[in-house]
Structure 1
């Protein structure tokens, strides 16, 4: 009998980026939406991109195929099934409602589909799913602020956080300070992207808004003072190794900054980011993290430390991790076992 997979937590996954090519083609055809390579279902053809900026353009073309409550519900349930096969017990899914609204979908359609999908995902696959909608740095300020209001409306239906994504050079995070304030005042934690394709200054700017976590944040490895601040403030970074390689913000795995982050005492969760677009899954990301000195028990503990859920949910998730990894591994990231010196792949 095959042993069940180790329990895993994932805090950084864009739900629109989990849709496998065959599913996306089916949805696009049903909704009469063209795709870049509409006739070929292969991953490499449909999700072909050359660098980070090109990836964002492909993202915009493909995710616009999602239009209905059923589309959004299916996205969550399908990914929960996939993640469960990798051992996921808790997910925080990102979605981008304002981008859909800007193209004619109403707010309630998007939020209802995702929140109903989260409930169904737990019922069918045993994965607790919570949600963290985000805004793009290219959005008009007014639309971003309305997105924050809508996110707060769904706080009692599993929406726990509010994020910021898109190209870091498009606009400073400060442009969306009012949207952040609406979300924070409404009880949502802030979980912005920063320090992915941009440098440490992007992470520093995000820290001014008191984030619970920073998505990516890997550029902080270049700044010892910033690393110390992240450690002292207990800000968790959501690290996605394959994503960084596929978008070419990191040239190869041997030069990924995760070992430097860990050596500095920064807590790092592990995520897939856009698993269908990057041809990866949660098993692969945990394995890559382990190769960089971050073993599964430590990654689970980091995910638990960064999770935005209530304490009852946290205790239930911790119990599932403890049953496999042992109690010490879920007490805190520092308690999780780790090598004395993170090893580099191929070294």
Structure 2
């Protein structure tokens, strides 16, 4: 099963590029930029990656991002992740980035997006991994701040496919960002949002009814409301589930109790993703292996999860069909 998971073609739809910041690269860039970090060794950083909740994680997440200053830093961060995609048979990935994490530190929007997008372009040519960008608004900040980010993004609109909503969920419902999402859609951005990770089912309702999102990031707590489950199925919305993230942040106490299999049985279109792999203990294949082992998923179920990842990606129809043909061929040969 491990070889099957490692080799099956797949897409990753829920990935924060700042959350791929491995300790080794953090040390390298901090030294390059002559920035002091509050850790004396790589081992000390790894030891700090133990969290009791989402906010504990976010505190160190933003601390790590402080060493990212130059375009090359964002390039190196992104290309390092895309290299890991290539060896895991990730054919396509949809990368979230948090401009406000950087612009609030005085880093220009241009520096951030050019570093990331140039790495994406090179990875497509060198590694045969396609990717697109999701610009995430930080929900613990104001909607006015999100509007400033939207405005800053417009000269680079050709490099951005979608907008998202992440950071501290509790107390920051999707409705708080109703107007900026409406404006983002008018600019041509596809709306997505984190909902139902720590927030309850009402947050998911708001995300789909008020923000009009086309895909739900996380969505675990959708199961609190049977009518919501029915609505998600009838509207054909996928969930980008992140197993190791859920246990690291104690959203789920044990992978054996993870709702992924129940979601699938209810007809929800689920995908498996790594979220913030440097912090949560594993890239996408490790997430697949861990959840497969915990829930005893079959090859057919793994295939369905990978199929969902392509079908509910933001790729064009022809690209989806190309990937699905390759996936089906692999499955028929290896099942």
Scaled by the length of structure 1, what TM-score is found?
0.88
SS at the partner of 1:11?
strand
Q: Which residues in structure 2 correspond to 1:126-275 (within 5 Å)? A: 126-157=128-159, 159-208=160-209, 209-275=211-277
Partner of 1:276: 278
Moved more, 14-23 or 303-312: 303-312
Does residue 90 in structure 1 map to residue 96 in structure 2?
no
Deviation sequence 1:47-81 (CA, Å, 0-9, x none):
34333221111111111211111111111211111
Offset of residue 19 of structure 1: 1.7
CA contact 1:43–1:279 (8 Å) conserved in 2: no
In structure 1, distance between residues paired with 2:36 and 2:26 = 11
**Structure 2 unmatched runs, 5+:** none
SS of corresponding position for 1:76: helix
Partner of 1:44: 46
**TM-align CA RMSD:** 2.1
Greater helix content: 2
The partner residue of 1:325 within 303, 327, 331 is 331
Q: Deviations over 1:181-220 (max 9, x none)?
A: 1221121111100100121111111112211111000001
CA separation in 2, counterparts of 1:77 and 1:104?
A: 23
State the 1:38 CA deviation.
3.7
TM value normalised by structure 2: 0.91
Please say which of residues 246-255 and 34-43 is displaced more in the overlay: 34-43
CA distance in 2, matches of 1:199, 1:52: 15
State the distance in 1 between where 2:104 and 2:291 align: 37
Task: Give 3-state SS (helix, strand or coil) of 1:133's partner.
Answer: strand
Following superposition of structure 1 onto structure 2, how do residues 116-135 of structure 1 map, counting pairs within 5 Å? 116-135=118-137
SS at match of 1:154: helix
Q: From 57, 60, 76, give the equivalent of 2:59.
A: 57
Q: Would the aligned equivalents of 1:195 and 1:203 in 2 still touch at CA under 8 Å?
A: yes
Residue 7 of structure 2 aligns to a residue in which SS?
Answer: coil
Across the two proteins, how many residue pairs are aligned to each other?
A: 326
Change (3 A) 1:147 1:312: farther
CA deviation profile, 1:229-286 (whole Å, cap 9, x unmatched): 1100111100000000000011111211112211110101110001111120111112
The Cα offsets for residues 138-170 of structure 1, whole Å up to 9 and x where unpaired, read as: 22322211222344543423x211000011124
* Kept in 1: contact 2:10–2:307 (CA 8 A): no
CA distance in 2 between counterparts of 1:174 and 1:195 reads 14
Q: CA deviation at 1:322?
A: 3.0
Tell me the residue number matched to 1:302: 308
Change (3 A) 1:108 1:54: same
Q: Which has the higher contact order (CA 8 A, sep 6+)?
A: 2
**C-alpha distance in 2 between matches for 1:97 and 1:239:** 23
Distance (Å, rounded) in 2 between the aligned partners of 1:42 and 1:317: 41
Pick closer, same or farther for the CA change 1:36–1:195 going to 2, 3 Å.
Answer: farther
Shift of 1:42: 5.2
Aligned counterparts of 1:107 and 1:38: Cα–Cα separation in 2:
30
